[in-house]
Amino acid sequence: MTFRSCGALARDGHVAILGSNFWPEATGSSQTVTEFAEFLVRRGHDVRVATSMPYYPQWEIWPEYRRAFWRKDEHKGMVILRSWHVVSPHPSTLTRLLHELSLAVFGLPNMMRVVRGAHMAFVVVPALSYALAGVIVAALAGVRRIVIVKDVMPDAAVELGMLRNPLLIALSRLMARWVYRLADEIHTRGEGMRARIERVSPPNRRIRIVPDTVDGAELAPVPAARNEFRRTFVAAGVFAVLHTGNMGRKQDLDLLLRAAARLQHEASIRFYVFGDGAERERFLKRRDELALSNISHFPLQQRWMLPHMLSGADVVLVSQLPEVVDIVVPSKLLTALGAGAMIVAACASESETARLVRTSGGG
């Protein structure tokens, strides 16, 4: 993620990480941010995290976190301070506004505690309100600020049709400009993302491309004889097409439905969908309406199962809407590449995803 920055970290102050998504969420930006924090701890750094109550990808605060406005956790040697927020699995203009406002307002006390005495603060986007509050708190405390842009917001939400209210769009663009203006340095994941950020950032702002990292040892292929994915989910002789992770709008799950419909008479081909997200209910309803018995859906699996799934599947599907070009780089693609999986990427030819597949030699 931002491992090359670690050499600049001093041992006389702790490292603050501020982002709305973190462990135990297992998909999206939380996975790579958590791995980065764990890496710093292993290097001997004192890491303190300000984040929200877990809610992703279900877009509901997890049941075990619903009884408090603030909470303190510990994970692998780091302190995690969490705050309550509004979130809805069926977002409207009002709930989106309340989500952003509550993230910042309830998160502010924890940000102040985490940043106080820090040597450096890493502030993670996509949640713009949380990121803006974070860079303001760090700036007032005189702490160096590195902003990590996982998704270019609000561009991603606007271009995917998730954000349509003109007032909210204008407000979000203003927040993004101030986040970039208050950053000492900006890290993002692709050339197209950097170009978008440069267009709305102050001149001469330092913007680096820092790809996410994967653990090759963790993702090492699991032989068929020991592969729990094949043993548990896949019948003998079946060609398994796998889609795992977030089930959101940008994943273009309609494409998977169309493919399954065209192949439903091929008894040896099955689609295995593991995950959750805002589109899960609609996807499953549409699957049932089309009577697509060749699609099986399961909840997200524990992390240890991931290498079994990626190496056990005959094809790993990475699908994106055509509009998704230079606003995100899907972390699931890097994970699949790291595992040496056979990948079919259904995406725009000029997208960051297509560029990564071409330059990797995979696909």
Residue 193 in any domain: the answer is yes
Per-residue pLDDT tens listing for the chain (363 residues): 454 455 455 556 899 999 999 999 988 889 899 999 999 999 999 999 999 999 998 899 999 999 999 999 999 999 999 999 999 988 777 888 899 999 999 999 999 999 999 999 999 998 999 999 999 999 999 999 999 999 889 988 888 788 888 988 999 999 999 999 999 999 998 888 999 999 999 887 899 999 888 888 889 999 999 999 999 999 999 999 999 998 988 899 999 999 999 999 999 999 999 999 889 999 999 999 999 999 999 999 999 999 999 999 999 999 998 888 877 788 888 889 888 899 999 998 888 888 888 888 764
Looking at the structure, do residues 85 and 16 belong to the same domain, yes or no? yes
CA distance linking residue 304 with residue 138, whole number of Å: 36
CATH assignment at residue 49: 3.40.50.2000
> Do 280 and 183 have their domain in common?
no
3-state secondary structure the chain: CCHHHHHHCCCCCEEEEECCCCCCCCCCHHHHHHHHHHHHHHCCCCEEEEEECCCCCCCCCCHHHCCCCEEEEEECCEEEEEECCCCCCCCCHHHHHHHHHHHHHHHHHHHHHHHCCEEEEEEEECCHHHHHHHHHHHHHCCCEEEEEECECCCHHHHHCCCCCCHHHHHHHHHHHHHHHHHCCEEEECCHHHHHHHHHHCCCCCCEEECCCCCCCCCCCCCCHHHCHHHHHHCCCCCEEEEEEEECCHHHCHHHHHHHHHHCCCCCCEEEEEEEECCCHHHHHHHHHHCCCCCEEEECCCCHHHHHHHHHHCCEEEEECCCCCCCCECCHHHHHHHHCCCCEEEECCCCCHHHHHHHHHCCC
User: Are 74 and 140 found together in one domain?
Assistant: yes
Q: Crossing angle of helices 29-42/331-338, nearest 10°? A: 60
- Is residue 174 a part of any domain in this protein? yes
Integer Cα distance of 296 and 87 in angstroms = 28
The residue segments making up the domain with residue 99 are 3-209
CB 307 within 8 A of CB 220: yes
Domain end: 163, 185, 209, which one? 209
Q: What is the spatial distance between Cα 217 and Cα 270, in angstroms, rounded to a whole number?
A: 29
Work out the number of other CB atoms within 10 angstroms of the CB of residue 6. Answer: 14
Structure tokens at 95: 């709930």
DSSP-derived pairing of the beta strands 78-83 and 70-75:
antiparallel
Please tell me whether residues 158 and 239 are part of one structural domain. Answer: no
Look at residues 137, 113, 150 and name the one whose alpha carbon lies nearest to residue 20. 150
Whole-model pTM over 0.85: yes
What b-and-e string marks burial along 244-255, b requiring 16 or more CB atoms within 10 Å of the CB? bbbbbbbbbbeb
Residue 343's pLDDT is 92
Residues 166 and 232 in one domain: no
What span, in angstroms and rounded, lies between the C-alpha atoms of 110 and 95?
23
18, 124 Cβ separation under 8 angstroms: yes
What confidence score (pLDDT) does residue 3 get? Answer: 45
Specify if 145 maps to a domain: yes
Q: Domain for residue 215, yes or no? A: no
CA geometry: angle at 129 spanning 123 and 133, to 5°? Answer: 60
> CA 232 to CA 324: how far, in whole Å?
34
Count: domains in the chain: 2
Q: Same structural domain for residues 178 and 55?
A: yes
Domain boundary among 209, 238, 272: 209
